[in-house]
């Protein structure tokens, strides 16, 4: 064992027993920075099997010679040995100690001055905090990823909300602007044809028919962008307007309740896209549209009795619905079998 009589006025056996019993690693350096004592915990952490392998060595070039990245750590910059010169106590978290085999570990240590017969040395108490720092770094990375995911989700929701607002504006502009102008043109053409000769009336009737067709196309376009009836009267009325002209029997069960604009828009487009797929691919006789308010969730289902085989990955429309629903923190799934397909979306109402 080291000459612990050099360590102060305490009885040798008491001081030695105390230092060997503590759980933290402890070693002492003399005024020259040489190790004069190391307890078992310090030897174990530093990678020495016997105290004699470490005693007499200058501590800094032995265990503290480099930073974590391997760059040189000048001894004159070492805070651990500073108490010998200044008498202060130094505490450091996250520093690096090196073992004789070249391995390293993160440490938290305190270094305090210690009066010795030949001058002022220092007592260093340290512990391995490698695992703790790795856990802290992992938690920090997780927090950053969580914040990034939350911001991405929030930005998607803002994009969907902005897109819906723009859809409503475009639908309103088409209805109140171009469509109304064409209606006035149509009325003027028909009024002009009343007193015209046959040839002129024929030309005017042709122009009126073109204007009528343009109005119908604008109405269809406005409905596809964002139907005015959805904004004014809600999902039930909008779906009724949507399904009326379809060459397919549609059984619908939808409450008259009004919901948030983003929820109504998502529900409507899930239903519209689902029915479009039924008409295009299912060869079905009947489609069923169900909307249920389950308190915290609005559940939307579109089912048919046609052939299955829907591929969500291959359909940009269904992928778009999946993204739209996910942006609202909802869920979207397609249950597909040999007979019949069911689209199901859940949208949060809170």
CATH number, position 332? 3.30.565.10
* pLDDT-above-70 percentage for the chain: 80
Range name among 173-177, 196-200, 205-209 with the lowest pLDDT average: 173-177
Asked if 215 and 296 sit in the same domain, the reply is no
What is the distance between the alpha carbons of residues 48 and 23, in angstroms, rounded to a whole number?
A: 17
Q: Which of 94, 128, 162 is the endpoint of a domain? A: 128
Asked if 259 and 276 sit in the same domain, the reply is yes
Q: Which of 103, 128, 153 is the endpoint of a domain? A: 128
Provide the domain count of the chain. Answer: 3
Strand, coil or helix: what is 110? Answer: strand
Asked if 322 and 275 sit in the same domain, the reply is yes
Q: Is the dihedral of CA 33, 39, 43, 45 positive or negative?
A: negative
Range of the domain at 34: 4-128
Which residues face 308 on adjacent strands?
A: none
CB 29 within 8 A of CB 122: yes
Q: What is the pTM of this model?
A: 0.49
Q: Which of 198, 226, 254 is the endpoint of a domain? A: 226
CB 340 within 8 A of CB 305: yes
Asked if 247 and 136 sit in the same domain, the reply is no
pLDDT tens, 27-46? 999 999 999 999 999 999 99
pLDDT tens, 206-235? 887 877 777 766 666 666 666 788 888 999
- CATH number of the domain to which 64 belongs: 3.30.450.20
How would residue 196 be classed by pLDDT, with cut points 50, 70 and 90? confident
Query: Quick one: pLDDT at residue 198?
Result: 73
229: enclosing H helix or E strand:
helix 228-233
Asked if 243 and 345 sit in the same domain, the reply is yes
pLDDT tens, 71-121? 999 999 999 989 999 999 999 999 999 999 999 999 999 999 999 888 999
């Amino acid at each position: 064992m080291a000459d612990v009589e050099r360590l102060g006025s305490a009885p040798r056996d008491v001081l030695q027993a105390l230092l060997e019993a503590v759980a933290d690693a402890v070693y002492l350096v003399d005024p020259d920075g040489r190790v004069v004592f190391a307890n078992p915990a310090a030897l174990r952490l530093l990678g020495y099997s016997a105290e004699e392998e470490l005693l007499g060595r200058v501590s800094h070039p032995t265990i503290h010679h480099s930073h974590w990245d391997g760059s040189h750590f000048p001894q004159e910059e070492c805070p651990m040995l500073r108490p010998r010169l200044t008498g202060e106590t130094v505490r450091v978290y996250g520093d690096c100690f090196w073992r004789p085999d070249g391995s390293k570990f993160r440490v938290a240590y305190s270094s305090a001055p210690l009066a010795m017969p030949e001058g002022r040395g220092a007592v260093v108490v340290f512990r391995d905090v490698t695992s703790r720092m790795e856990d802290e770094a992992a938690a920090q990375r997780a927090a950053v990823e969580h914040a990034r995911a939350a911001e991405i989700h929030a930005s998607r929701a803002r994009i969907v909300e902005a897109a819906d607002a723009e859809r409503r504006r475009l639908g309103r502009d088409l209805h109140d602007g171009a469509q109304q102008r064409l209606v006035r043109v149509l009325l003027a053409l028909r009024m002009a044809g009343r007193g015209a000769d046959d040839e002129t009336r024929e030309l005017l009737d042709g122009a009126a028919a073109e204007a009528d067709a343009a109005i119908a196309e604008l109405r269809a376009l406005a409905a596809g962008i964002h139907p005015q009836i959805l904004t004014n009267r809600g999902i039930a009325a909008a779906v009724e307007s949507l399904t009326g002209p379809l060459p397919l029997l549609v059984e619908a069960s939808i409450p008259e309740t009004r919901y948030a604009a983003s929820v109504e828009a998502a529900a409507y487009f899930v239903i519209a896209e689902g029915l479009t797929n039924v008409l295009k691919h299912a060869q079905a006789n009947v489609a069923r549209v169900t909307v249920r308010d389950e308190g915290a969730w609005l559940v939307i289902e579109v089912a048919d009795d046609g052939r299955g085989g829907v591929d969500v990955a291959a359909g940009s429309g269904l992928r778009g619905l999946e993204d739209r629903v996910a942006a609202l923190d909802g869920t979207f799934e397609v249950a597909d079998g040999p007979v019949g397909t069911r689209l199901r979306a859940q949208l949060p109402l809170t």
